[in-house]
Amino acid sequence: MTPGAILTINAGSSSIKFSIYSAGEEPVERVRGEVEDIGDDAILEIGDHGGEKRRIGIGRVSHEAALTAILDHADDFLDGQAVTGIGHRVVHGGVDFARPVRLDDATIARLVELEPLAPLHQPHNLAAVRAARRAFPDAVQIACFDTAFHRAHPWVNDTFALPREWYDRGVRRYGFHGLSYEYVSGEIARIAPELQHGRVVIAHLGNGASMCAVRDGRSVASTMGFTALDGLPMGTRCGQLDPGVLLYMMDHEKMTSDQITDLLYRKSGLKGLSGMTNDMRELEASDRPEAAEAIDYFVFRIRRELGAMAASQGGIDALVFCGGIGENSALVRRKVCEGMEWLGIAIDETANAENALELATGKTRVMVIRTDEERVIARAVNAALNG
């Protein structure tokens, strides 16, 4: 029997990133792509693994119609395989979901309750779940959570110093980017098994950015907290902020919650500091002092957290970079590692310029690992299909 195909879905308000794998012992990637501008004149970008991408106009479509369009155009790559499993990236799994879960009505209802904790992501993730269930009623549907990897956090990294009842009401440090940390931890175990029980710090530096201390493959501490705003500055998000700033904005500037949300999520970070862009490539190419300052602040916060992550697990055996910036920006990696000999961190400039896997010249391993959140989702679906 031909094994079925697995569709992974990462849905935002106006986009769906997707990939399609053949199920089997280990999923084999066939197709990867994205639908952009859903709700407007949507464009489907699709191609096989590592190959050229086609760009196809699919008109004004809903999320559900976009999913059908993906499947129509994916047919060319699938040799007649039908989609038997669908994996959804769902940003928030709250306190309860520490592993992937099969999506049924009751589970979806519990995930809807978490929408206030991730208002800019969770509703879109769940809209895609509903659309996919309508479009593929017979497929197994699985949710994979960005928070799940961190559920093993020790209590001190799970809480804020608020009155205890707030912890019980779910105001906790959930941590995010868990699918990326899970993938990278798996790769570390595969590439460098001697680090499997070591003290590892992973820096996921993309448009969203966070860091995680990982020991024995488990999250010990991470920079993101209750929402995906905390920790490092990001493309357009502010990162760590004194909560007094919010009180000031509300009480003295009379800003509404919508205005503050827009400011903190969409207008801050690299974009806000530079006054230009959230794109690191453009910032690196610019000769404006504000661009250099935005990079300096980004690097400064990464270095601060690197110290904190090392301290949280009594030292560091490996620093691993991933995400669009972590994997590709030699400048950011060099600046992060400069003067870090006290943590055993020193890197080879040539290896760094080549985005090589291994950069270290000091006793702490420094690595660049391409993250692959889709594969983590595909594996979870594959496992469910295999019973």
Q: Residues interacting with ligand ADP, by CB under 6 A?
A: 206-208, 235, 279-281, 284, 323-325, 328-329
Q: Which helix (H) or strand (E) holds 18?
A: strand 16-22
Check 146, 158, 230, 317 and give the catalytic one: 146
Q: How far is the CB of 355 from ligand ADP (least distance, A)?
A: 8
Give least dist CB 47 to ligand ADP, A. Answer: 16
Nearer to ligand ADP among residue 222 and residue 329 (C-beta): 329
Whole-number Å distance between alpha carbons of 33 and 31: 7
- Residue 185 · residue 283 · CB < 8 Å: no
Q: Which is nearer to ligand ADP, 225 or 323 (CB)?
A: 323
- Least separation in angstroms between CB 207 and ligand ADP: 3
| Catalytic residue list contains 146 | yes
> Under a CB-based contact definition with an 8 Å cutoff, are residues 34 and 17 in contact?
yes
Name the closest residue to ligand ADP (Cβ).
Answer: 324
CB 166, min distance to ligand ADP, A: 29
Q: Measuring CA to CA, how many Å separate 46 from each of 64, 84, 87, 271, 283?
A: 17, 20, 18, 29, 28
- Measured at the CA of 273, the angle between CA 338 and CA 13, to 5 degrees, comes to 110
* Coil vs helix vs strand at 221: strand
SS3 230: coil
- Pick 227 or 312: Cβ nearer ligand ADP: 227
User: Which of 10/185 has CB closer to ligand ADP?
Assistant: 10
Query: Counting beta carbons within 10 angstroms of the beta carbon of residue 374, is it exposed (0 to 12), middle (13 to 18) or buried (19 or more)?
Result: buried
Beta strands in 184-317 (DSSP E): 199-205, 209-215, 218-222
Nearer to ligand ADP by C-beta: 207 or 259? 207
Shortest distance, CB of residue 371 to ligand ADP, whole angstroms? 8
Dmax of the chain from CA atoms?
A: 67
Active site residues: 146
